Structure 1
Amino acid sequence: MHDKRAREILFGAFWKGGWIRDSDRYVSPDDFAYAKRMGYMFDPIELSHDQVVSQLIEERERADLTALSNSFLASLGSRRLDLRSALGSYAFASNFPQHEIATTSATIVPSGAQRCNWCGFYEFQNPAKVDLSLLNFERHRWGGVRRDNPVYAWLDLSLFRAEALQNPTGADQQMMHEILETARSMEPDATASSLEKALAGTLKSSKAERRVLIEILAVCGVLQPRSRAGYFGEFTFDFEREHTGQHFNDWGYPAIWWRGSDGVSETALAAYFPNL
């Protein structure tokens, strides 16, 4: 459900020309109750590793790929970034394994939390409260930024199911064709950052939106680096997601490794967008 007032309350809780500091965040009880009723804000909840795993797999099994794909395409014109996000969450979850927490001594952090080597979830001795409102803010503002976070993927897919189905227009499909042609035509050593700049005139978007768009297509395997594993037909464990070592490079995995020579995976494209 798209509700302007609830969205404004959500945004006002976290952003005012930039991030609002935790200590300065405030939402009146009445506003919070309204945004909560509309499905935009939530009470913090406690989640264990095993709960997250089971809930994400359950949402994956309930997902409708056609609806996810159509909503992604429709978002290119509508800029409903919350609906664009769900395809990336599905792609991340598509081969997500049923598993118990897998740790080594190296993944026990000073607080005592254990980081799962497989999915990256941090589990504390006393379950930490998760701020789902923050995740939903990121979902609405940018289309999500935590592509490999299983909590985000679960929330994203569950909220998507409550939305009305979106169908792309011919203009939306044409924009997608232009995005793909741009990716196919990049110089061999072009990076994801180069592609982001090249897409600036293709669709109405901010730099941050184009980055998220590219990262979603990379998680789907449409922009799959040939030199690295991904999520199309497989699941890349958290400990396998290599970084380039460039401290200034904050692209997500696997988009961080994509180069122009990798082009577009026609196999993944056909799987996720069979009607293009």
Structure 2
Amino acid sequence: MDKKAAKILMSTFWGGGGWKSVSTPFSGEDFEYAKSQGVMFDPLTITHDEIVQRLHEIHQDDTLQERVVTAFLHSLSTKKVHLRSALSSWALTSQLPLHTYLERRAVHANTSACGDCNFLRLQSDQEYVDADLNVLNFERIKWGGVRHGWLLYCLMDLELLYKDTDAISEVTPEDQAILVSLLEAAQTGDPKDSARSLEKRWKGLFPSSKQERDALLEIWAAAGLLVPTDKPRRGKGGSGDFIFVATWQGDDGYNTDAALRYFAPYLPEIL
């Protein structure tokens, strides 16, 4: 990723006091430079059905999953957090059938009136008019994403991964060691432990901020690595800080099948 372009994007939305007020659409020399580097974008008008079609085409690439996994692992020691959320974007959309928005309406719409998106907990609209991808990419680069369940975010995330030379990297022994430590920390066995407890257990295991660890928890949950089991829930409705990992608790641990599906070549034989 071009460092100058990334700095332009970051300074557009974030300053010493946190979030900045911005006016869209963006323009100017800096914006044009960041846009030329594929880091900032013009407003996007697109339909749900077009997004689903593009995602379907992306998933025809048999090398995509391995690229997503190696990019994720490479991010652990390098702190390239923008490479992480492709794991959840891939997982959330890999089972998405080719469909139209009105084909199957959701009976109980939680995230979308589209039944297929709603079933997979994807937030989608029938049409997007002048949608701003810049704030989504800012969140991706700053923390590893925030709106992981947005269909539009998943498309942007996976398309950017294809273009990012940082994503073509070897997984180092340090990355593998961090992965093992994160998985081991998730096996607390204590039903009183919440997602917030796990975030604190992860502190110090790899270079990260609290916000980046929060994003990683959501990514792992959306990817099926941290999921509630049939054990009784100790909390009342889960944590308001999270969406996908809100009701996870310590005795759920991590999903072994999912861990092996993604990371088997990078894990010791006995974990």
Tell me which interval the TM-score lies in, with the shorter structure as reference length: 0.7 to 0.9
Matched, 1:91 2:91: yes
Using the aligned pairs only, state the percent identity: 38
Structure-1 residue corresponding to 2:261: 271
Structure-2 residue corresponding to 1:251: 242
- What secondary structure sits across from 1:161 in the alignment? helix
Deviations 1:64-117 (A, max 9, x none): 21121111111111011111121111011111122222447986xxxxxx8434
2: CA distance, partners of 1:170 / 1:98: 39
Contact 1:182/1:199, CA 8 A, preserved across alignment: yes
Letter in 1 for 2:57: E
2: CA distance, partners of 1:22 / 1:85: 25
Structure-2 residue corresponding to 1:78: 78
Of 97-106 and 28-37, more deviation after overlay is shown by: 97-106
Contact 2:25/2:43, CA 8 A, preserved across alignment: no
Structure-2 residue corresponding to 1:200: 203
1: CA distance, partners of 2:19 / 2:88: 24
Q: Please list every run of 5 or more consecutive structure 2 residues that lacks an aligned counterpart in the other structure.
A: 118-122
Matched, 1:116 2:106: no
Letter in 2 for 1:116: C
Contact 1:73/1:173, CA 8 A, preserved across alignment: yes
2: CA distance, partners of 1:22 / 1:186: 45
The one of 257, 260, 269 aligned to 2:250: 260
CA RMSD of aligned residues (A): 2.3
The one of 151, 166, 169 aligned to 2:169: 166
Structure-2 residue corresponding to 1:34: 33
Structure-2 residue corresponding to 1:226: 229
Structure-2 residue corresponding to 1:7: 6
Residue 22 of structure 1, CA deviation = 3.1
1: CA distance, partners of 2:229 / 2:212: 24
Contact 1:56/1:151, CA 8 A, preserved across alignment: no
Runs of 4+ in 1 over 6 A off after TM superposition: 104-107
Deviations 1:132-162 (A, max 9, x none): 1111111101111111111110110011011
Letter in 2 for 1:135: L
Task: Report the TM-score when normalising by structure 2.
Answer: 0.85
Residue 27 of structure 1, CA deviation = 5.8
